[in-house]
């Protein structure tokens, strides 16, 4: 009976806290070629408690979730490359690297534990951020050399309902926004991350209605996926803006 109150409280606790950003501008300015080697997001269920829509979301096949995760990964890389002028290594190049796959086999499935309704969205062949971020300095350096890049990126995030409008509680339009838990970038020259951004909230995209549902059933899943991808792009823009600004002043 308390589920409709519990979820909003948990959401507020999860998203609480001040944004922080530490940017080594001198090191970042020397970066041209990057690879995203740790990436996952947690898609929070909308609605109160375990609605029909939430149950359907949590029972999606691993294949469909992985495909969505791959779209997120590509959207993040494309937008960061566009905003920062970086050459971002393709997902196939990362997944096809033998040393990366060795690390992936140890890291796969080790996402953060979340005490909220929803599910982790990961990509087949791409490791979650947390275990990759915990690699030793030597392992990170070896991976940078193996991928032939200047730096490697790790990011985990929350995908949360941003704006919802409804008609008599039956028809609803939902949009999502992304909150970055932690975005870090490492290179060989520095012993600490040259970028570390925490709790950065992206804008809620206005271009696309991410979902139109009737009593919890999505009437246009493909449109919803497009809206989710736009949310990833928006947070990439917010990250780039923070990096260019130089972090907390």
Residue 83, φ and ψ in degrees, nearest 5: -75, -35
Most confident of 22-26, 46-50, 220-224: 22-26
Residue 111: per-residue pLDDT? 63
CB atoms within 10 A of CB 234: 23
Residue 109: per-residue pLDDT? 65
CA atoms within 13 A on the CB side of 52: 7
Q: What is the share, in percent, of the chain residues with pLDDT greater than 90?
A: 46
Q: How far apart (Å, rounded) are the C-alpha atoms in residues 211 and 220?
A: 7
| Residue 48, pLDDT above cutoff 50 | no
Q: Answer for the pair 27, 80: CB distance below 8 angstroms, yes or no.
A: no
> Which residues lie closer than 8 Å to 230 by C-beta, 6 or more apart?
205, 207, 208, 210
Mean pLDDT, range 8-19, rounded to an integer: 53
CB atoms within 10 A of CB 249: 5
Mean pLDDT, range 29-53, rounded to an integer: 74
Residue 205: per-residue pLDDT? 74
Q: What is the pTM of this model?
A: 0.78
| Residue 9, pLDDT above cutoff 50 | no
Which tops the pLDDT comparison, 105 or 59? 105
User: Mind listing the pLDDT tens digit for each residue in 89-118?
Assistant: 999 999 999 999 999 998 876 666 655 566
Which tops the pLDDT comparison, 41 or 29? 29
Average pLDDT over the chain, rounded to an integer: 77
Residue 17: per-residue pLDDT? 61
| Residue 54, pLDDT above cutoff 50 | no
Mean pLDDT, range 9-26, rounded to an integer: 69
Residue 179: per-residue pLDDT? 86
Residue 28: per-residue pLDDT? 95
Residue 3: per-residue pLDDT? 42
User: Mind listing the pLDDT tens digit for each residue in 180-212?
Assistant: 889 999 999 999 999 999 989 888 776 554 444
Per-state percent for the chain, helix, strand, coil, to nearest 5: 40, 30, 30
Mean pLDDT, range 20-30, rounded to an integer: 94
Residue 118: per-residue pLDDT? 64
Residue 146: per-residue pLDDT? 98
**Res. 15 pLDDT band, cuts 50 70 90:** very low
Give 187: exposed, middle or buried? Use CB within 10 Å, 0-12, 13-18, 19+: buried
Which sequence spans correspond to the domains of the chain? 26-245
CA-nearest of 239, 61, 65, 45 to 158 is 45
């Amino acid at each position: 009976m308390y589920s409709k109150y519990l979820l909003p409280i948990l959401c507020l606790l999860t998203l609480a806290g001040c944004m922080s950003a530490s940017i080594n501008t001198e090191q970042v300015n020397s970066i041209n070629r990057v690879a995203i080697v740790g990436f996952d997001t947690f898609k929070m269920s909308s609605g109160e408690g375990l609605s029909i829509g939430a149950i359907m979301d949590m029972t999606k096949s691993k294949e469909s979730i992985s495909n969505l995760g791959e779209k997120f990964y590509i959207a993040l890389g494309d937008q960061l490359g566009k905003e920062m002028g970086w050459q971002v290594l393709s997902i196939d190049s990362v997944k096809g690297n033998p040393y990366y796959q060795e690390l992936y086999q140890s890291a796969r499935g080790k996402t953060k534990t979340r005490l909220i309704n929803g599910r982790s969205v990961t990509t087949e062949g791409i490791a979650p951020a947390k275990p990759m971020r915990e690699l030793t300095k030597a392992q990170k350096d070896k991976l940078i050399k193996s991928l032939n890049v200047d730096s490697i990126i790790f990011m985990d995030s929350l995908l949360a309902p941003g704006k919802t409008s409804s008609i008599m509680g039956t028809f609803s339009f939902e949009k999502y926004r992304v909150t970055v838990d932690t975005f870090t970038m490492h290179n060989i020259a520095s012993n600490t991350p040259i970028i570390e951004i925490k709790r950065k909230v992206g804008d809620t995209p206005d271009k696309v209605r991410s979902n139109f549902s009737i009593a919890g059933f999505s009437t246009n899943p493909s449109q919803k996926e497009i809206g989710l991808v736009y949310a990833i792009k928006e947070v990439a823009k917010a990250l780039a803006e923070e990096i260019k600004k130089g972090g907390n002043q």
